[in-house]
Amino acid sequence: MQVVYSPAHLRHDPKFAIEQSRLLPTFEHVGRAEAIRETLQTDARFRFSAPSEWGLAPIEAVHDAGLIRFLARAWEDYQVAAGPTADVMPDVFYRPALRRGMGERGEPEAVQAQFGYWCFETTTPLTKGTYEAAITAVDTALTATQYVLDGKGTTYGLCRPPGHHSTSGMYGGYCFFNNAAVAAHHVASTTGTKVTVLDVDYHHGNGTQEIFYDRDDVQYVSLHGDPARAYPWNVGFADETGTGRGAGANINIPLAARTEDDAYIDALHSALEKIQAFGPSMVIVSLGLDTFFTDPISDLAITADGFERQGAAVAELGLPTVVLQEGGYDVAALGDNVRRWLIGAGA
């Protein structure tokens, strides 16, 4: 199986974040992608290649120009405005209720305030090389997608930073640009065919849902920890099914705590039936391994065997498939869990 990887992800190197009211070392760190790379490189089934450069146009097709501009210069601007800081996070969030009855003012002038305008939470530090890493993660997704479009079979993009929490106009949840959404839009818009994003990360991909919520050419199907008890809390409920032309093209399957392999595979099969009925030309998998039973920030109970069964179930669809890396935080097991998922998918 082809693997697309770039060491450019190392430039996004956050050290700490505020998570559940505690200042903690970041769960999303450079060691994650390196653990996956090291494991796959020891297995002859996987062939590595570097991403090609795609420029900003595919990102601009999905994300607000203001967000892209902000991410490109925010770290440097912040150093000038607020003094040397390695990891930058918002400390004041703009929320519309703050100006109730006074009208919108748009993006604040001060970079310190811009962080709370474009970011929705406190676990996603912006570091010196984050923008370059995020651009390369999109390039990785698009290059993997191009391999599949070219008929080279199921391909894995080792994207880091991940993407599925980034909306069209906000970043957060360890994500900056929505790699899977950029790839899905690219395929739908350049081929005129329908595409499905199947999200098996523990967390609901609120960004991907938001980006495609009113579209009928990109289906979003997600299995995830019920947002009644899990990040991203505000989005991901079963009654969110799409709007307008997109009505019915958004499918959320919230799962109970400690869901095990058999129940997960049952839920996945019902998701795959919905995908078959939609009739996409391609499936883009947002692959999270944070459903693993020892993941430090999640509460499902999937095993390594369960991951291989997931990959096999998706492969049974018989559709061109791109697999893009999202979450997974038990780093000691992460490489092998990815490997097992991809072996199930036909590696």
Q: How many CA atoms lie within 13 A of 106 on its CB side?
A: 3
Cβ-closest residue to Zn ion? 327
Interaction of residue 288 with Zn ion, rule CB under 5 A: yes
Nearer to Zn ion by Cβ, of 320 and 327: the residue is: 327
- Binder among 217, 290, 299, 330 for Zn ion (CB under 5 A): 290
Which residue in 156, 146, 145 sits closest to 37, CA to CA? 156
What is d(CA 220, CA 252) in angstroms, rounded to the nearest whole number? 8
DSSP 229: T
Nearer to Zn ion by Cβ, of 51 and 162: the residue is: 162
* Span 327-346, contacts to Zn ion by CB under 5 A: 327
Give the shortest CB-299-to-Zn ion separation in angstroms.
Answer: 12
- Binder among 29, 32, 160, 203 for Zn ion (CB under 5 A): 203
Which residue in 288, 344, 285, 284 sits closest to 175, CA to CA? 288
Nearer to Zn ion by Cβ, of 215 and 224: the residue is: 224
Give the shortest CB-178-to-Zn ion separation in angstroms.
Answer: 14
For the chain, report the end-to-end CA distance as a whole number of angstroms. Answer: 5
Q: How far is CA 123 from CA 6, 40, 93, 241, in A?
A: 24, 28, 13, 28
Nearer to Zn ion by Cβ, of 180 and 188: the residue is: 180
Count of residues that interact with Zn ion, criterion CB under 5 A:
6
One of 12, 165, 203, 204 is an active-site residue; which one?
Answer: 165
Other Cβ atoms closer than 10 A to 125:
23
Cβ–Cβ < 8 Å for 173, 124: yes
Q: Binding marks (x or -) toward Zn ion, 308..327, rule CB under 5 A? A: -------------------x
Interaction of residue 236 with Zn ion, rule CB under 5 A: no
What is d(CA 112, CA 152) in angstroms, rounded to the nearest whole number? 46
What is d(CA 34, CA 40) in angstroms, rounded to the nearest whole number? 10
Is 269 designated active site? Answer: no
Interaction of residue 246 with Zn ion, rule CB under 5 A: no
| Stretch of residues binding Zn ion (CB under 5 A), selected from 83-91, 94-102, 202-210, 336-344 | 202-210
Cβ–Cβ < 8 Å for 25, 13: no
What is d(CA 250, CA 236) in angstroms, rounded to the nearest whole number? 10
Give the shortest CB-247-to-Zn ion separation in angstroms.
Answer: 27
| Stretch of residues binding Zn ion (CB under 5 A), selected from 125-133, 136-144, 195-203, 255-263 | 195-203
- Binder among 202, 213, 264, 307 for Zn ion (CB under 5 A): 202
Cβ–Cβ < 8 Å for 156, 4: yes
Binding site for Zn ion (CB under 5 A): 201-203, 288, 290, 327
Which residues are identified as catalytic? 165
